Amino acid sequence: MLTLADIQSQINTENFIGGEPVKATASETYTSLNPSDNQPIATFALSNAEDTSRAIAAARKAFDQGPWPRMSVAERVKLINRFASLIEEKAEFLGAIESYDVGKLLGECVGHDVARASANMRFFASKMEQWEDEAYFKDAAFLGRKIKTLSIAKREPAGVAGIIVPWNSPIMLATWKLGPCIAAGNTCVLKASPWAQLTILQLGQLAKDAGIPDGVMNFIAGGAEAGQTLTSHPDVDRVSFTGSVGVGKAVNIANAQARMAPVSLELGGKSPSIVFDDADLDMAVAGVARGIFRSQGQSCVAGSRLLLQESIYNEFMPRLVKEVKAMKIGSQLDSSSQIGPLITKEHLASIERMVQAGVSAGAKATIGGRRPEGVEFAQGNYFEPTIFEEVSSEMEVWQEEIFGPVLCVMPFKDESDAIAKANDSEFGLSSSVWTTDMDRAMTVSSAIESGMTWVNAHFVRDLRSPFGGVKDSGIGSEGGRYSLEFYTRAKMICLTYPR
């Protein structure tokens, strides 16, 4: 395992613009702290409007004058796959950075997130190779002549993309957007959350080493000013944002006021897990626990609301509590840990406030609800996995996204009651249904107001399928052709000839 000293000796903390590391002009800095003990990892400047505009100018030049949009798909695919291979070669290094920086379990960072980063790039490269334009033939008339028309419907790269990713899975979510963006021939500027910049800042040199032309991918560290500039700049043709609802709405407004570029927004979730009395209870208990407590609940698709059919409530809950009590809390670098620290002190304080609000409102913390005791936890951002019972629908803990290891439980009577309670939310990102009755599974899944529903599973992904939400959970979908359609624009060319 790489030590913190190993990482600090190799890490890049500068922006990567136009194919080179570039120092930010901004004076504001941010120091990343290891969530397990809050010791400093690295300090970097938070890019301002000038720094962000410089990155946008590099991307604009690379798109307007550079070779990337003019390359054949096969040429681009070759370089993207080389970039993916370099991610794989650096998996231990990149995974260690992300684990130290974010607090996710090291095994999850290396074995899942970095592996998915490489897979994302390869998938979209392959998907672009399979892209098919369309052509339509029709008989028509023009100026008194009978003619035939051949209308070619093709997709062209959109231009410069402004991409903003959140702090919970930075490298996985960054490549989820970078892959289709550059495979389609675009250039981009990518900014992560100030809380999780370090992995992102390493990608620029890997892109250069892969032979991807300068300016195609630009990476900046930044905060609110950088984000505002990126989402309202007239030279940005697409805006893709993953993050909170409040910021997502602000991004949409800023973009609309600036130049109405198409926007993709993947926002928050308060996802219901619905367990019926005919479910495989062993699988449902394990699946529900994984659905909320993986990554300390810091996931937009976390199953944070549990709806249990009344007839199995008293059997299911003791089994779930036992499952959660057995989870080991510890450093994200310890291979035996199942629950690591939360990302920052500020986020820990937010979780504590939400939990206290639940208690004050009358919810019962059956397990957890506090920081774990012990000297090994004293300096870190640890919080026990928490289960709330006796929750009512008007409570903040039931309605608001907590983004932490907190599960709220409510009983339901029948299918219609379950659907009504599941849909009683401003969010609509994901959901899961646990049942052995496939008619019920399809009926309930279709009735739930969410962009994605799993049946007897959670977190399972097919990269070809749409990923996105409804209501306050966002606009648009990502994945497969949905991503490629967003990063391209449709163009019709009509040829005519006599008939």
Mean pLDDT across the stretch 49-73?
98
Q: Which residues contact 482 (CB under 8 A, 6 or more apart)?
A: 466, 467, 468, 476
CA distance 348 to 328: 18
Q: Is the overall model pTM greater than 0.85, yes or no?
A: yes
108, 300, 389, 401: the active-site residue? 300
Q: Which residues contact 202 (CB under 8 A, 6 or more apart)?
A: 11, 12, 90, 93, 94, 97
Check if CATH label 1.10.3720.10 holds for domain 4-267+473-492.
Answer: no
Residue 494 bears catalytic tag: no
Q: How confident is the model at residue 1 (pLDDT cuts 50, 70, 90)?
A: confident
**CATH code for the domain defined by 272-461:** 3.40.309.10
Mean pLDDT across the stretch 132-152?
94
Other beta carbons within 10 angstroms of residue 297's beta carbon come to 24
Mean residue pLDDT across the chain? 96
98, 108, 266, 384: the active-site residue? 266
pLDDT cut 90: percent of the chain above it: 97
Q: How confident is the model at residue 260 (pLDDT cuts 50, 70, 90)?
A: confident
Give the pLDDT score at 83.
98
Other beta carbons within 10 angstroms of residue 32's beta carbon come to 24
Mean pLDDT across the stretch 80-103?
98
CA distances for 236 relative to 186, 190, 207, 210, 259, angstroms: 11, 12, 21, 25, 9
CA distance 43 to 35: 15
Give the pLDDT score at 257.
87
Q: How confident is the model at residue 128 (pLDDT cuts 50, 70, 90)?
A: very high
Q: Is the pLDDT of residue 458 over 90?
A: yes
Give the pLDDT score at 421.
98
Q: Is the pLDDT of residue 255 over 90?
A: no
* Residue whose C-alpha is closest to residue 186's, from 273, 59, 332: 59
Give the pLDDT score at 29.
95
Q: Is the pLDDT of residue 499 over 90?
A: no
Other beta carbons within 10 angstroms of residue 94's beta carbon come to 25
Mean pLDDT across the stretch 313-330?
98
Q: Give the residue extent of every domain in the chain.
A: 4-267+473-492, 272-461
* Residue whose C-alpha is closest to residue 132's, from 484, 496, 464, 465: 484
Give the pLDDT score at 256.
87
The burial of 240, by beta-carbon neighbours within 10 Å (0-12 exposed, 13-18 middle, 19 or more buried), is given as: buried
Residue 266 bears catalytic tag: yes
Mean pLDDT across the stretch 139-159?
95
